[in-house]
Every structure is written in structure tokens, then in C-alpha cells.
Amino acid sequence: MEIYRGLGRGSYIWGRSVIERLWVDVTAQVTDTWYQMFQLLELRHGLDINNANHIWLLQFLFLGTINAQLAFFAQTWNQHRIQIRRGPNRSPTDMFVFDMFVNGVRRDQLPLEEENLTVEELEAYGVDWQEFRDEQILRSQSSNNPATENASSWIGRQGIPDDLSYVVVEPPADTLSPDEVSQLFAHFQGLIGTVGDDNVVSLWLQALAYVRVLYPDLF
């Protein structure tokens, strides 16, 4: 980057990374609270971290709330203003949207000699063909990406991808049926999503007692 852009532009970040700082904020504002709470459930309120059924119940009760808090954090972070040297303070959203509008989808305009590339040439622009033909990489790509996956090209794409990373939390085998899961949710729907130590402990204890009535040997 410094060879291409020149020295003294701040193109490269030295020292502690920005992503490490971001994780500090995520931990302090969201995840550490849940870490402490789950430790409390383990030490005082019957959570067995070696019991897969307990882990499923924990995810069933609290994963949606954690995801909502993380989404709110991301939204807030993307709107907060960052101090920029020799320029106005700007938010990540502003930098992403406005700079893409000014400089192009790929963050930077193509070199002058490449401005008139065809759609087919743009499709392959920047592809590392040596790595693309590597057998080990091809096997990894084939085994980890379904054949039905849509093309990853940015050309003509609008909106979010059809498939996003999503963790499906299924009950362990030989436990709750789909109807029983629905009944569990209906029974505690008014409590799921509440926050605060007392509410979290109360929800966990009530839900644990509920499933123990159904499957005392598993929970």
C-alpha cells in the first residue's frame, strides 16, 4: 500500500489494531455482562455446561436477546463519529456510503488504463488465478460451499445476500419435540427478551424446572 500510494498518508496502521479496540468495546458493552451472568448460573443456579441439553436451553432462552443487543451495538457504532486527521469527523456509515459513491464500488477507481474494462473482464478483475487453480483450495471451496450458492460477484447485486451466516439451534436428539418447543416458547414468551440479573436468573430457573418435569433424566 505504501509503495502504491506513497509514504505519510496513514495507509497502514502500525501498533495495536483497530479491530482489537472494537472487540474491547463489544466485550465491555455487551458480551462481558452475559459472560458474568452465565458464570453465575453455573455456580449458583444449576447450569451444567457439560450437559448439551442445558446448553441448548441457554441458547433457546437468551440467544435472541444477545443478538438483538449486538445488532444495536453495531448500529450505534456505525453512526458514531470518528476523529479523522486533516479532515472532518465522520461516521463509519458516512465513510462507507459516501466514499463508495465517490470512489466506486471497489473503494477506489480503476487505473486509467483499465477504466474501459468489459463486464466479463470486471468479473475476473483482481482474481488470483494461481491460487484459484490450487487443488487444496478448490477442495476446501467445494466442501464448504454448497453447489446451490449464488454467484459471489458484485455485478448486478442489490440488497443483502439470500443466505447469511446463521446458527440453527436444534434441541438435542431424544428430547423436546417441535410441539414441546413451541409450548416452551409460548409459556415463557413474556419473559424471553427481558434483561437484568434478577430477570435472567428467574427465567433460567423457571425454564429449567419446566423441562425437568418433562425430561427429568436429561435436564
CA 82 – CA 188 distance, rounded (Å):
41
Output 29-32 pairs: Cβ under 8 A, ≥24 positions apart. Answer: 29/73, 30/66, 30/69, 30/70, 30/73, 31/66
Report whether 188 contacts 207 (CB < 8 A).
Answer: yes
- Could you give the 3-state DSSP secondary structure of residue 38? helix
Report whether 213 contacts 56 (CB < 8 A).
Answer: no
In the block, cell 473482464 appears at 121
- Could you give the 3-state DSSP secondary structure of residue 130? helix
CA 93 – CA 78 distance, rounded (Å):
5
Q: Is the pTM of this model over 0.75?
A: no
Average pLDDT over residues 125-132: 73
More reliable by pLDDT, 182 or 98: 182
CA 2 – CA 172 distance, rounded (Å):
52
- Could you give the 3-state DSSP secondary structure of residue 193? coil
Single-letter code of the amino acid located at 57: L
Pick the closest to residue 64 from 173, 179, 195, 180 (CA basis).
195
Average pLDDT over residues 191-211: 92
Write the DSSP string, 161-174.
-S-------PPPTT
- pLDDT class of 86 with cuts at 50, 70, 90: confident
Report whether 144 contacts 34 (CB < 8 A).
Answer: no
| pLDDT at 194 exceeding the cut of 90 | no
Mean pLDDT of the chain: 78
More reliable by pLDDT, 125 or 192: 192
Which of 9-13, 39-43, 61-65, 193-197 is least confident? Answer: 9-13
pLDDT, tens digit, for every residue of 31-82?
999 999 999 999 999 999 999 899 999 999 999 999 999 999 988 888 888 7
Which of 140-154, 175-189, 199-213 is least confident? Answer: 140-154
Proportion of the chain above pLDDT 90, given as a percent: 31
Q: What is the pLDDT of residue 212?
A: 93
CA 209 – CA 46 distance, rounded (Å):
10
CA 168 – CA 146 distance, rounded (Å):
17
